[in-house]
Chains A and B, each alone.
Chain A
Amino acid sequence: MVKMHRRSFLSSAAGSIVVAGFGLPALADARNDFLVVGKRIDDMVTLDPGASLEGSASEVSRNVYRRLVNYDPHDLEAGYGPDVAEDWTVSEDGKSITFRIRQGLRFESGNPVRAEDAEFSLRRAIKMNGSPAFILAQFGFTPENVDDRIIADGDTLTITTDNSYAVSLVLNCLTATVGSIVDKETVLAHADGDDFGNGWLAINTAGSGPYKVLSWKANESIVMGVNETYVGPRPQVSRIMIRHIVESATQRLLLQKGDIDIARNLNPEDIKSVTNAEGMRVDSEQRGRLMYVALNQKNPTLANPKIREAVKYLIDYEGMQNSFLQGAWAVHQNIVPATYLGAVKENPFHLDLDRAKRLISEADVSDRPLQIGLRSGQEYLDIAQALQNRMAEVGLQAEILVGASSQIASLYRSRKHDIYIGSWGPDYPDPQTNVGTFAYNPDNSEEANAVGLIAWRNAWDTDGLNEQVVAAAQENDLKKREQMYHDIQARFRETAPIAVLFQQTEQAAVRDHVHGFSLGGAVTHPAYWNVTK
């Protein structure tokens, strides 16, 4: 009783301050109008959509920026649909796509959204050459030629690629964060030298989406508020705060007390306790990230096809899924994530020690213990230990090397590992994003230094898959394109020195009164504008 009294006193007192000083509605309403999300956001380095690749920054960009084409959070299965572009036409040679820009859209600043803004946004991504630039650059754009190949003309924007690519591939790439349309006038007004406004956009936003960023304190919180110039149904929650909370137990406690509405990084134990608790539920969505084991082909033992095959039978896929992975990862043995074009459900591998033993006995194995490299993370360590034990049972010695992620990454990028356990998130929602890195490696030499390709990192020349991958990227018949990805994956499963193990399922713990939150599935990022409280 006493506690209630204190609470209500505090609330009303604070409410009156809010009303008097800041012109916001009273606190009782404010609480319903205000969504707090607990999440680790230490991966957020820049808010500039032209320079960020994935993670928390992409989540913010999805809610702040419109793209030419986009995914509807209510109907992810429908694929991309019109957003800033009303419709588009493809030239006869298949190299040019012309978008007709929707009229009446506005940026935060009040400026209209024009074809010129789209032209500027895509050109600057290529010219800045930041980490996401390759998503567009794969179509032949370079800082030198982009001014001739991405051109606005009145209400239309035409992009011309170097080859005829599948239109679905090009458009899927434009739904990625790097395809975000920024406000040219505002950004240029804040440009510093020839930085294309990168310095300013790193900490500010200039979009036409449902929200805009009100404040960002690195490793503390980011607050988004409704963008008043947004054209579309007004979001019901007018402020979203994403709080950086590292500890899973702390997130759970805050959720139980109702101080946060959504907890995004709960460990399996905390997920379990939330599942059984009152007033909360767990929302699960399959995401695009895959976990895999890769064998470096520079190591003669691992280059032996018998050993490659044996390793695939040394992993207890089902057992791990049902024990320590507890719903966070589900068995998936193919390079195209489920729900993508061309995804398949064949999971032929299972734990089979006898088979593995037989294969290894036919191979020539060196005595030097193999090193299993992985970044810190309990699930990776658990998998590595399980693999190490199984390997020992069939006579392969292994040691585990755990390191900070950038430390292991540099080892992996320079092809100095033996076995690597890691994960890979798609960069854009098209099968090409994964097939083009796992099954494509046109030049396997050291000089090629193609660190972006997982096949190159593992010194695998892909046994002739390269041409099939290129052909699939250029096939415009969807049915045929789908079949081509089926074929590529079948061959990959059989021959690749890489075993895909699992696909991620993200579990968000949510208070019961929160509805309409979409994590974005495997194809895009979380959307907040349909959330109600």
Chain B
Amino acid sequence: MMSQTATTWNTALKVPRWVRRTVALTGAFAFTILGLMMVTFFIGRVMPVDPVLAVIGEQSSPETYQKVYHDLGLDEPLVHQFLTYVWGAVRGDFGVSLLSGGEVASDIARVFPATIELATLGILVGAGVGIPCGVLAAVRHGTWVDGILRLIITIGHSIPIFWLGLVGLSFFYGKLGWVGGPGRIDFIYDGLVPSVTGMILIDTALAGEWSIFANALSHILLPAGILGYYSMTYITRMTRAFMLEQLSAEYVTTARVKGLSERTVIWRHAFRGIRVQLITITALSYAGLLEGSVLTEIVFSWPGLGNYITTALLAADMNAVLAGTIVVGVVFVGLNMLAELAYTMLDPRARS
């Protein structure tokens, strides 16, 4: 009797599982972003930096100061300012940047593709080299191969990326001339290819301008390689640790006892067990790169998101800082959710 009632209730309120999941995910997403906006907004308002002086310069008169103070809406109550901001953000209006004089939304649309391009190449290098190296280090645990890989990782962890960028530039660009210099493209090509996606490699390919494509590629190789190296050190280290754990598990021993080839044991059995964890750390590394690697972007004069947010922060351009932070937040939360979806597909336990 009891169980029958319960079933009826369940049927009456039956909402498809995917709907419930989507609603929950969207809710969590919106809530996180709203929280992020709130924290950033209020930190921005209590910072001891004066946004009005950032606009008018320190030599201007008190009348000008008052006028701009009012124009920026700074005389409104704080809560009112925040609500106005959220309402604008919902409609895709993040206000005007003090620095560029243009819409923040269009600024971000301009700088973010540069970061996406760099980060994507970086993570391809990082994961493409890092995962096989990690597996190799685990399999050859304790041998000279493992030793060399560990040395490479340690070096990557201890050298500041800023320094590596400068040294890489002066050697590969300054001395050898193998790669292009700072900037996304030789200055002479600037503006020759119409911007469609904002990613120069894709835009030049779409336009069929292969020589400019080659030029852009020569510019991105070094910064992407350096970012790739840094994410590789992390991915290799984690992969190695995950694999070592799997390789010592009983089911691997069982597989070996069954007489399966070493290759099958490693890739079909042990590696399958770490796929979910690998997705998480790769997604997190990717999100880290998408945040914009400020130092790399500065050294390579790369007009990306990290550069944009940092410049804005130093100039007290709070609209730009807020919008930049929200983009970073959306990227982080979004990639986390994608990783979660990937678990569901790859891990049978998560499905039930």
Q: A and B: partners? A: yes
A binding-site residues for B, Cβ under 8 Å: 3, 9-10, 13-14, 17-18, 21-22, 27, 30-31, 34, 36, 42, 45-46, 53-54, 129-131, 133-134, 202-203, 215, 217-221, 223, 241, 243-247, 249-250, 253-254, 256-257, 259-260, 403-407, 409-410, 412-413, 427, 449-452
Closest Cβ neighbor of B183 among chain A residues:
A243
Which residue of B57, B110, B214, B303 contacts A131 across the interface (Cβ within 8 Å)? B57
Is the beta-carbon distance between A250 and B299 smaller than 8 angstroms? yes
Known: A10-B211, A17-B212. Is A45-B98 also a contact (CB below 8 A)? yes
**Neighbouring A residues of B209 by C-beta, 8 Å:** 17
Q: Is the CB of B62 within 8 A of A451?
A: yes
User: What would be 14 A-B contacts, judged by CB atoms less than 8 Å apart?
Assistant: A14-B188, A45-B55, A46-B101, A131-B56, A131-B60, A133-B61, A219-B100, A244-B303, A253-B173, A406-B51, A406-B58, A409-B53, A410-B50, A449-B62
Closest to B55 in A: A45
- Is there an interface contact between A134 and B182, defined as CB atoms closer than 8 Å? no
Task: Assess the B177–A3 pair: CB atoms within 8 A.
Answer: yes
Please give the distance in Å from B232's CB to the nearest CB on chain A: 25
Name B residues whose Cβ lies closer than 8 Å to a Cβ of A: 48-51, 53-65, 67, 97-102, 107, 110, 166, 169-170, 173-174, 177, 181-183, 186-192, 209-212, 214-215, 298-301, 303, 307-308, 311, 314-316
User: B residues within 8 A CB of A220?
Assistant: 303
| A18: chain B residues within 8 A (beta carbon) | 192
Cα A257 to Cα B188 with chains together (Å): 14
Contact (Cβ within 8 A) A221 B169: no
In contact, B99 and A219 (Cβ under 8 angstroms): yes
Partner of B314 from the list A13, A31, A404 (CB cut-off 8 Å) is A404
Contact B211 A407 (CB under 8 A): no
A69 CA to B315 CA in the complex, in Å? Answer: 34
Residues in B neighbouring A244, C-beta threshold 8 A? 301, 303
Contact of A257 with B174 at beta-carbon distance under 8 Å, contacts A247-B301, A413-B58 already known: yes
Q: Shortest Cβ distance from B289 into chain A, in angstroms?
A: 20
On whether the beta carbons of A45 and B183 are closer than 8 Å, the reply is no
Contact, CB under 8 Å: B181 / A407 = no
Closest approach, in angstroms, between the C-beta of A332 and any C-beta of chain B?
Answer: 20
Q: Would B190 and A241 count as touching, CB distance under 8 A?
A: yes
By a CB distance below 8 angstroms, the chain B residues around A202 are: 101
**6 A-B pairs with least C-beta separation:** A218-B100, A13-B211, A409-B58, A131-B60, A406-B53, A410-B50
A18–B50 Cα distance when bound, in Å, is 46
Cβ of A193 to closest chain B Cβ, rounded Å: 13
Q: Please measure, in the bound complex, the distance between the C-alpha atom of A220 and the C-alpha atom of B57, giving whole angstroms.
A: 21
How far is B102's CA from A27's CA once the two chains are assembled, in angstroms? 32
Q: How far is the CA of A221 from the CA of B307 in the complex (A)?
A: 14
Contact call B303/A14, Cβ cutoff below 8 A: no
Which chain B residue shows the least CB distance to A7?
Answer: B177
A243, B316: Cβ atoms closer than 8 Å:
no
**A202-B101, A219-B99, A243-B183 as given contacts; A10 in contact with B215, CB under 8 Å:** yes
Give A244 to B301 CA distance when docked, in angstroms.
8
Taking a contact as CB atoms closer than 8 A, the residue among B54, B99, B189 that contacts A218 in the complex is B99
B202 → A minimal CB distance (Å): 18
- A14 and B60 form a contact (CB under 8 A): no
A21 and B190 in contact, given A134-B61, A247-B301, A451-B65 (Cβ under 8 angstroms): no
Do residues B299 and A36 form an inter-chain contact, with CB atoms below 8 A? no
Q: Are B101 and A218 in contact (CB under 8 A)?
A: yes
- Residue from the list A27, A42, A410, A413 in contact with B99, Cβ < 8 A: A42
Residues of chain A within 8 A of B181, CB atoms compared = 253-254, 257, 259
Contact (Cβ within 8 A) B58 A412: yes
Q: How far is the CB of A501 from chain B (nearest CB, A)?
A: 19
CA distance A462 to B269 in the complex (A): 85
Q: Which residue of A lies closest to B215 (CB)?
A: A10
Whether A134 pairs with B311 at a CB distance below 8 angstroms is no
Which one, A53, A247, A449, A451, contacts B299 given CB within 8 A? A247
* Interface contacts beyond A218-B100, A406-B54: sample of 6 additional A-B pairs, CB < 8 Å, sorted by A: A13-B211, A14-B211, A130-B60, A254-B181, A407-B50, A451-B62
**B60:A218 contact, CB within 8 angstroms:** no
Tell me which residues across on chain A come within 8 A of B58, comparing CB atoms. 405-406, 409, 412-413
Residues of B within 8 A of A9 (CB): 211
Assembly CA distance A403 to B48 (angstroms): 9
Q: B311: which A residues are within 8 A, CB to CB?
A: 42, 219
Give A134 to B187 CA distance when docked, in angstroms: 39
Q: Which A residue's beta carbon lies closest to that of B298?
A: A246
Q: Known A257-B173, A257-B174; judge A130-B64 contact (CB<8 A).
A: yes
Is the pair B308, A452 in contact by a Cβ cutoff of 8 Å? Answer: no
- Residue among A17, A53, A215, A452 making CB contact with B192, cutoff 8 Å: A17
Q: Which residue of chain B is the closest to A249 with respect to CB atoms?
A: B166
> How distant is the Cα of A223 from the Cα of B189 in the complex, in angstroms?
12
Within 8 Å CB of B102, what residues of A? 203, 218
Given contacts A131-B57, A243-B183, A451-B61, A223 and B191 within 8 Å (CB-CB) = yes
Q: How far is the CA of A10 from the CA of B61 in the complex (A)?
A: 54
**Complex Cα–Cα for A134 and B56 (A):** 13
A412: chain B residues within 8 A (beta carbon): 58
**Chain A residues within an 8 Å CB radius of B308:** 219
B48 closest partner in A (C-beta): A407
Contact A241 B187 (CB under 8 A): yes
Assembly CA distance A219 to B110 (angstroms): 11
> B188–A247 contact, CB under 8 A?
no
Chain A residue, CB-CB nearest to B54: A406
Distance in angstroms between the alpha carbons of A245 and B187 in the assembled complex: 12
Cα A335 to Cα B211 with chains together (Å): 55
**B50's closest neighbor in chain A, by CB?**
A410
B192–A21 touching, CB < 8 Å: yes
Determine the chain A residues whose CB is within 8 A of the CB of B174 once the complex forms. 253, 256-257
**B60 partner, pick from A36, A45, A452, beta carbons under 8 A:** A452
A254, B182: Cβ atoms closer than 8 Å: yes
Q: Which residues of B contact A254 (CB under 8 A)?
A: 181-182
User: Taking the nearest CB of chain A, how far is it from the CB of B346, in angstroms?
Assistant: 41
CB distance from B213 to the nearest CB of A (A): 11
Complexed CA–CA distance, A449 and B62 (Å): 7
Nearest-neighbor residue (CB-CB) of A414 within chain B: B50
Question: Is A243 within 8 A of B187, CB to CB?
Answer: yes
- B332 to chain A: closest CB distance in Å? 24
What's the nearest-Cβ distance from chain B to residue A409, in Å?
A: 4
Q: How far is the CA of A257 from the CA of B203 in the complex (A)?
A: 27
Chain A, residue nearest B301 (CB): A245
**A131 CA to B64 CA in the complex, in Å?**
7
Cα A404 to Cα B315 in complex, Å, equals 8
The CA of A511 and the CA of B63, in the complex, are separated in Å by 45
Which of A203, A221, A223: most chain B CB closer than 10 A?
Answer: A221
